[in-house]
Amino acid sequence: MGRPLFDGQKSIATLSLEALGKTHEFEDSTLHLRSADTQWERGSTFGPPIEYPEIDQALHSVLRETLENDKVLLSLAPAGIRLALAQDVAREPEETFWQLKSRLSEIRKRREQPVALRLIQGFEKRHGMTFPPELRESLERELVEDSPGHHFRYFGSTEHRSVLEALERQALSLAVNRYLLETKQRGIRLYQRFFPRFYREYAAGMSFLFPHTPNGEYKEKADYGPDIIFKLDHPYTHSNESRNGHTMFPGRMLQHKIIALMIFFHEYAHGIFDQILSRPNQGWHRHEAAYDAVNEGFATLLELLLIDKLVEACIELGLSDRDIRDLKEWKRQHLWSLKKKKDTHTWGTFYFWHKIYKRAGEEGMLRVLHHLDAKYLLSLRFDYQSHRNNLLLGEELISRY
Ligand SMILES: [Zn+2]
């Protein structure tokens, strides 16, 4: 019996959050922030800091605990997500910028006060003590203070209007990055298990864009190397991954975790293709060479082959009936989209890879990968929007391999 695919295990002990350029280290389910990261500054840009030694000390204790305890920190994340979504829906044309700003600041205040109170009460409970009433009141104010005298900085240069805002932002990026890392870990495990001969390890950054029509993108950045970008309509977190969301294809909604996994698996395949063909890093590029069309067909076939393998190994992987239904639905939606919508990406090159697979299996695909001429394919300009071009390219490839 293997490890279940969606078991919520946090065995990402040594993975670092490269996407954020930070190094939080995971150990089991506990996140340890380096002590240097828990330093906090205030008042730096607006005159000398106001000194309240007693409050400072108490606040620092509450904050340090919050930062060291990822459960407390992550409990702030859903609030951050709600607020981010509220900001997005607030874009009404008749609302002036200043009206919007003050409205959001009101939303924030209403939300922050109870959170501040919860943090302080939680601290008291865990330590079996009670702050004197005046100190508790000051702590609460300090946490939610929204005045030019208090600007806080955590983990980089972004300024926040209150301590809680900074914590909330931090919690949100933690939740999102943890989710990305877990998705990556699942995807890599599946490559190692089901496509060991295709699998190439490469340093792929993971980033996250929302709100957006769900989709994924594989991008080569000149300075950073490959980056897998998740464009989603909702900031996924571990806690909401089994909820339903839209896919990029027309059809039924599927569980977030399935969508994220399929996006990752597909985008990672683009990098494998690059690795095997030793594509030179040219920095950011538009999809305009035949090379990209062949890569697209390859990633799409690998993605669909994975679904068959997952369904076959569903018991071993601990997949639920809902997982299986969603995987099959993803495949149906993707195939439908390729055929009916004449998805510009790839019908011809997908068909080419499928032919190779039918004829000689994965062995044959590998052989072709090693024979493809990257330089030639990169030099062949290709109208990415043309379905017909893709078909012609597919036919040409079929006649050659
Ligand atoms: Zn693709």
Q: What is the pLDDT of residue 194?
A: 97
Q: Do residue 93 and residue 207 come from a single domain?
A: no
Of 88, 104, 77, 376, the C-alpha closest to 240 is 77
Which tokens belong to 400? Answer: 């050659």
- Buried b or exposed e, range 330-360, using 16+ CB within 10 angstroms: bbebbeebbeeeebbbbbbbbbbbbebbeee
Q: Do residue 68 and residue 151 come from a single domain?
A: yes
CB 386: neighbour CB atoms within 10 A?
Answer: 14
Domain assignment of residue 8, yes or no:
no
Span from the CA of 345 to the centroid of ligand 1 (angstroms) = 8
Q: Which of 49-63, 107-121, 282-296 is the least confident region?
A: 49-63
Q: What is the pLDDT of residues 6-38, one digit of tens each?
A: 654 332 222 333 333 333 433 322 333 333 344
Q: Do residue 225 and residue 339 come from a single domain?
A: yes
Name the DSSP class of 26: E
- pLDDT at 390 > cutoff 50: yes
Q: Do residue 163 and residue 214 come from a single domain?
A: no
Domain assignment of residue 4, yes or no:
no
Query: What is d(CA 6, CA 10) in angstroms, rounded to the nearest whole number?
Result: 11
Span from the CA of 382 to the centroid of ligand 1 (angstroms) = 16
Q: Do residue 231 and residue 302 come from a single domain?
A: yes
Q: Do residue 320 and residue 386 come from a single domain?
A: yes
Domain assignment of residue 179, yes or no:
no
Span from the CA of 251 to the centroid of ligand 1 (angstroms) = 19
Q: What is the pLDDT of residues 235-291, one digit of tens each?
A: 676 666 778 888 888 889 999 899 999 999 999 999 999 999 998 766 555 567 889
Chain centroid offset of residue 88 CA: 19
Span from the CA of 39 to the centroid of ligand 1 (angstroms) = 42
- pLDDT at 113 > cutoff 80: yes
Q: Do residue 223 and residue 350 come from a single domain?
A: yes
Domain assignment of residue 241, yes or no:
yes
Of 236, 230, 260, 229, the C-alpha closest to 326 is 260
Domain assignment of residue 187, yes or no:
no
Span from the CA of 303 to the centroid of ligand 1 (angstroms) = 10
- pLDDT at 177 > cutoff 80: no
Span from the CA of 269 to the centroid of ligand 1 (angstroms) = 8
Q: Do residue 281 and residue 382 come from a single domain?
A: yes
Query: Distance between the two ends of the chain, CA-based, in angstroms?
Result: 40
Number of compact structural domains in the chain: 2
**How many residues in total does the chain contain?**
401
Q: Provide the residue range defining the domain that includes 387.
A: 195-400
Mean residue pLDDT across the chain? 78
Domain assignment of residue 178, yes or no:
no
Span from the CA of 228 to the centroid of ligand 1 (angstroms) = 11
Span from the CA of 145 to the centroid of ligand 1 (angstroms) = 46
Domain assignment of residue 269, yes or no:
yes
Q: Do residue 155 and residue 202 come from a single domain?
A: no
Q: Do residue 64 and residue 100 come from a single domain?
A: yes
User: Which of residues 168, 187, 206 is at a domain's end?
Assistant: 168
- pLDDT at 209 > cutoff 60: yes
Q: Do residue 210 and residue 261 come from a single domain?
A: yes
Query: What is d(CA 322, CA 39) in angstroms, rounded to the nearest whole number?
Result: 45
Span from the CA of 221 to the centroid of ligand 1 (angstroms) = 16
Span from the CA of 319 to the centroid of ligand 1 (angstroms) = 25
Span from the CA of 81 to the centroid of ligand 1 (angstroms) = 28
Domain assignment of residue 291, yes or no:
yes
Q: Do residue 57 and residue 162 come from a single domain?
A: yes
